Amino acid sequence: MCKIELKGLDKVYVSGKLEYLALKGIDLVIGDGELVAIVGPSGSGKSTILNMITGIDRPTRGQVLVDGRRIDDLKEDDLARWRGENIGVVFQFFQLFPTLTALENAMLPLDLVGKGTVKERKEIARRNLEMVGLGDKVDKLPCELSGGEQQRVAIARALANDPKIIIGDEPTGNLDSETADRMFDILLELNRKGKTVIFVTHSRELAARAARTVKILDGAVCAS
């Protein structure tokens, strides 16, 4: 099970004497295995919500629970371990290491936690690359891959530890519409296999393909 609950979340960012209220009393429940698009204008708080779910950032007030466990008050080491076991993140700009091959990039999360032997980690990474259609590109550097192929490597990397939750922060925002559709098909397939998939997008077309859309405006949920 993978139920996500955000309860009364406020997030205040402080810069000198200035305070900015990025989230205002967010109450949101995302059920196990849901496919959810988070939409809203730039600066509305969409990415901040993702940061709350992943534990990259912590709320100023309120609680973040996953499977009934509060993650917002975990110690940093425990939070990092929890994130590595449960969350896979796909970013807009891929964030691949340019000097590592596709296989090595896809292995990184496994290397960081020292999971299994090197041979086993390579097998897992190779299998994930094959799943996203890059079985013949394992030895290619990012500069030798198209934007869509780089994003598929990023998805394979996100799947390394078989996480329950896949988070996409504008995962198709740096791709042309045809390639973006293909990327979204991969996310759909992962969702069909039981992954909870949550993604931020500015694309109305992609948001419409999600089973549920959460609209954010000025740091608050205005429709869900």
Domain hosting 192: range is: 4-98+147-223
At 168-211, the pLDDT tens digits run 998 888 888 888 888 889 999 999 999 999 999 988 888 999 99
pLDDT at residue 46, as a whole number: 95
Where do runs of H (alpha helix) occur along the chain? 46-54, 76-86, 102-113, 118-131, 147-158, 177-192, 204-209
pLDDT tens-digit map of 128-143: 999 999 999 999 999 9
Q: Strand 18-30 vs strand 4-15: parallel, antiparallel, or unpaired?
A: antiparallel
Left if phi > 0, otherwise alpha if psi is -120 to 50, otherwise beta: which for 99? alpha
The reported pTM is 0.91
Average pLDDT rounded to a whole number, residues 29-49: 95
**Separation of alpha carbons 86 and 99, rounded Å:** 27
Cβ atoms of residues 2 and 177 within 8 Å? no
Percent of the chain with pLDDT over 70: 100
Do the domain assignments include residue 117? no
Report how far apart, in Å, the C-alpha atoms of 156 and of each of 69, 97, 181 are.
Answer: 27, 14, 17
Q: How many domains does the chain have?
A: 1
In this structure, is residue 125 part of a structural domain?
no
Q: Is residue 152 part of a domain?
A: yes
Q: Is residue 115 part of a domain?
A: no
> Which of 201, 175, 198, 157 lies closest to 44 in space, CA to CA?
201
Give, rounded to a whole angstrom, the gap between the first and last alpha carbons of the chain: 21
Q: How confident is the model at residue 93 (pLDDT cuts 50, 70, 90)?
A: confident
Q: How confident is the prediction for the chain on average, in pLDDT?
A: 93
Residue 213 lies in a domain: yes
Tell me the pLDDT band of 124, cut-offs 50, 70 and 90: very high
Distance of CA 120 to the CA centre of its chain: 24
- Is the residue at 31 inside a domain? yes
Number of neighbouring beta carbons within 10 Å of residue 114: 8
Question: What's the confidence (pLDDT) of residue 1?
Answer: 65
Summarize pLDDT for 139-156 with one digit per residue, the tens. 999 999 999 999 999 999
Whether 45 is covered by a domain: the verdict is yes
Interhelix angle for 102-113 vs 147-158, to 10°?
20
Choose among 149, 148, 198, 201: nearest CA to 173: 201
Q: For residue 191, what is the domain's CATH number?
A: 3.40.50.300
Q: Identify whether 65 is part of a domain.
A: yes
- Cα gap 186→21, rounded to integer Å: 35
Do 155 and 132 touch, CB atoms closer than 8 A? yes
Q: What is the rounded average pLDDT of the residues 105-115?
A: 88
